[in-house]
Structure 1
Amino acid sequence: MFIDPIGTGFSRSLPQDDKDTKQSEKANFGEAEKPKETEFWEVERDLKALGEFIGRFLSSHQRWLSPIFIAGESYGGFRVARLARKLQQEFGVGLCGAIVISPALEFSLLAGSDYNLTAWATLIPSFAASAAHHKRVQWAAEQGNLQAHIAAAEQFARTTLIPLLAMGDTMTPDQRQIAYEQMAGLIGLPVELVERLAGRIGIEVFARELLRDQQRIVGLYDASITAIDPFPGRVNYEGSDPTLDGLDRLFTGAINSHLRDTLGVETDLSYHLLNLETFKAWKFELKGEFKQGFLGSVDDLRVGMALNPYMQVYIAHGLFDLVTPYFASKHLADMMKLNPQIRPNLTVKHFLCGHMFYTWDESRCLWLAQMKAFYHNATA
């Protein structure tokens, strides 16, 4: 069962009375009004709606005793990690497994600052993999081993970059220069740029600068994909992301064809592949969670795994994904301090691709084989 949360896909909130029905009719005739779905566009209400739907579906189809798995991608991965606890603790839904695809698990790792240091480090291995793919590093020239190059980037991120950022001005200029040169060699950017930005390289900078000499931009969601930079002379990149805006028309056409032609869905509703109204109206309210202003899901995942020591968890990423870098989840998994009894229940895998790694034939086939083994083990 594929669930589109309210405000996405065909999912809408139903009118509850005559007043709502009349407002809905007005909206259909073009009279602007605030979407009623906005009450669902915050974290806890969104999770509650998903939990309610899952419970009702299990009841109406008599599937409460069936093996139950949940899966989610990107922000849906955040949802799955939270639901791993909430479904079991609040809705009584026992889970065999949770599949977390290209997730944003902790929002503190999505943006670095002068004071939030770890986020900068979690990007480095994805930068290194992407630079190697485009033959912008010495590794590619020597036809070396990609995994060895990525492993070197992971080691640099943990043992060199984090101390460099943490020590600030207390590190000697010579030590800083050595680190900058090592970083430039790993991620394929000029050492002068790395030095000017003091080792803090954001995804927009990397995407713009890696192939600037070719007047091309790399995709944020899949840095193996490139597009022409329409404004190469401007300071900031002002074009579109080739892996978001460039692919929107393809996925919109595919899902509409599948739902309407193959499955025979008849509706005048528009399918919201990406709903900007939801994006702009979404509220990240902490509601008792005091984590320096950032929401996270790893605590809930840890509790869910402790509540159910049989539940299996599979986290998957693409190596070329800059938006939700794979090393962030690998770092978090290493920080979860799972009990030795349940640590084998957590699997973290990476594929040679981007955010939607299943769009690559090789990665999709490999993932399918791994999922078959995962379902088998989780239900054994």
Structure 2
Amino acid sequence: MTELDGVFRREWGPAVAAIARWSGDLDVAEDAVAEAFAEALRTWPRDGPPERPGAWVISVARNRALDRMRRESTRPRREVEAALDGRWAAMDSAEVHPVRDDELRMMFTCAHPALEPASQLALTLRLISGLTVPQIARALLQSEDAVARRISRAKGKIRGARIPLRVPPLELLPERTPQVLACIYSVFTEGYWSTAGPSAIRDDLCDEGVRLADELCTLVPDSCDAQALSALVLLHDSRRATRVDATGALVPLDEQDRARWDRERMTRGLSRLRRAEGAAGTYLPQAVIAAAHATAPTWNDTDWGLICKAYDRVVDLTGSPVAQANRALAIGFRDGYRAGLRALDEVSGDPRLARSSSTAAIRADLLRRSGRFTEAAEAYRAALRLDGSEPARAFLARRLVECGG
């Protein structure tokens, strides 16, 4: 049911965040929302969707959670109901926490310093974004088993240490902001370049990433890194509509219609970029790269020198093999394709890239542009042996045919 799938993508995070904040239990919240969607799958095809699907999901999930908590509680039933009713009413009281958005609140909650950063990120992506374990594994360049264990351990730590599911006071938010930034960017990235499934782009996750980044800038306006992240996602998102054609097929950057890029989002992104001056993290150089692409009048006018310098900074800050692979492609456009291939050789053996098709796809592109079509075809075959969205695989297959494969 396509409509239900869209509701799931939009409403999973807000529903889990609301039920978790009310119940104080992550497992109860996740299970209750899953049961609500299972009920929707049973009843909506017969009765039609409700007028307010999100409210319906939260209402059903709340009832399922309440049933479970009644069964599992040793306290009298009426006492449990009274306590939970009071907690629900308190959520709607006049007292407003500085973090107004339920999903952003849950991100700050999951960024508790007692949890290791990788577990914070995996847990938040699962609970708030509704990403599956395989999607999270691809985003974090980790195995599915490792991600599943991280999520399980994080939930166990929260339960065992009785970590409260509440947002810290305003003065403590800065120490958790870096992890929230990382989560927002992962949400947007999964939307902008979906790692699996029938679509290359998940509009719901792109919109959510842009919205959360903007909300975070309002919350911590003096954070240069928050401004840089907002600039980065806005500048990328300004090109979203041209990344696929009318059939859903991927359109590479050098073939996109720049006249259709979203100038309003581009202007907002460049404004955020100016406010981000002095940011120490990785989002600023990435935003510089996005701005270089967004402001180039044509593909041939792209400032590859600036882009390579920005990638140098990203690699220095993170040591990311993905950044090194993308840097190699930029070097290929700046210094020639052979230079790009040499740079790619320096990182292609990194085991963290074993599950990603990006290295093989970049190698194939450089070889194709060099006119080395036989070698390019073999690289495209290697990329196709790895996971990817259906449009991404279709794009690689088209390139393979172009190279005589």
Structure number with the higher helix fraction is: 2
TM over 0.5: no
**TM-score with structure 1 setting the length:** 0.24
Query: Quick one: higher RCO (CA 8 Å, sep 6+), 1 or 2?
Result: 1
Which structure shows the higher strand fraction?
Answer: 1
